[in-house]
């Protein structure tokens, strides 16, 4: 599978999904008007990865801002990771949030309560 490498823009995040090392990253801002269009290729890529996942997949989420339509698309990403986890493969989600950004911490906790995958909340201290 070809890795996904998408450069971030002021409205869309940097995406690095690599099936060779099983490390995935979503970083930056996710506030496009049409999130579904942006996340569609990512979820299609994950559908293929789910067929042949590595023993361990590590997902790093380092978002500064995201809008509500992205929140659903990110949940769809997590649901695919949950399916991989259910199929007896290790999946770890690292949710990074900036110091004092309680809204971003709460957003991570929301996902943690919905998705049955180990979540690690990691505070970034400046």
Name which of 70, 73, 82, 63 is nearest 122 in CA terms.
Answer: 63
Residue 22 or 111 with smaller CB distance to other proteins: 111
Spatial separation of the C-alpha atoms in residues 74 and 69, rounded to whole Å? 9
Q: Are 84 and 52 in contact (CB under 8 A)?
A: no
Phi/psi at 118 (5° precision): -60, 125
* Contact between 44 and other proteins per CB under 8 A: no
Residue 114 or 122 with smaller CB distance to other proteins: 114
Placement of tokens 């060779």 in the chain = 20
Spatial separation of the C-alpha atoms in residues 89 and 100, rounded to whole Å? 33
- Specify the stretch interacting with other proteins by CB under 8 A; choose among 14-22, 41-49, 50-58, 107-115: 107-115
* Contact between 7 and other proteins per CB under 8 A: no
* Contact between 101 and other proteins per CB under 8 A: yes
Q: Which of 2, 7, 20, 33 binds other proteins (CB under 8 A)?
A: 33
Residue 7 or 102 with smaller CB distance to other proteins: 102
Q: Which of 3, 50, 60, 65 binds other proteins (CB under 8 A)?
A: 65
């Amino acid at each position: 599978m070809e890795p996904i490498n998408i450069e971030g823009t002021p409205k869309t995040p940097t995406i690095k999904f690599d099936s060779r090392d099983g490390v995935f990253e979503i970083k930056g801002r996710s506030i496009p008007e049409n999130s579904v269009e942006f996340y569609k290729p990512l979820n299609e890529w994950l559908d293929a990865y789910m067929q042949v996942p590595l023993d361990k997949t590590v997902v790093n989420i380092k978002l500064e801002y995201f809008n509500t339509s992205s929140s659903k698309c990110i949940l769809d990403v997590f649901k695919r990771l949950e399916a991989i986890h259910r199929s007896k493969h290790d999946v770890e989600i690292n949710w990074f949030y900036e110091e004092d950004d309680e809204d971003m911490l709460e957003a991570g906790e929301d996902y943690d309560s919905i998705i049955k995958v180990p979540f690690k909340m990691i505070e970034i201290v400046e």
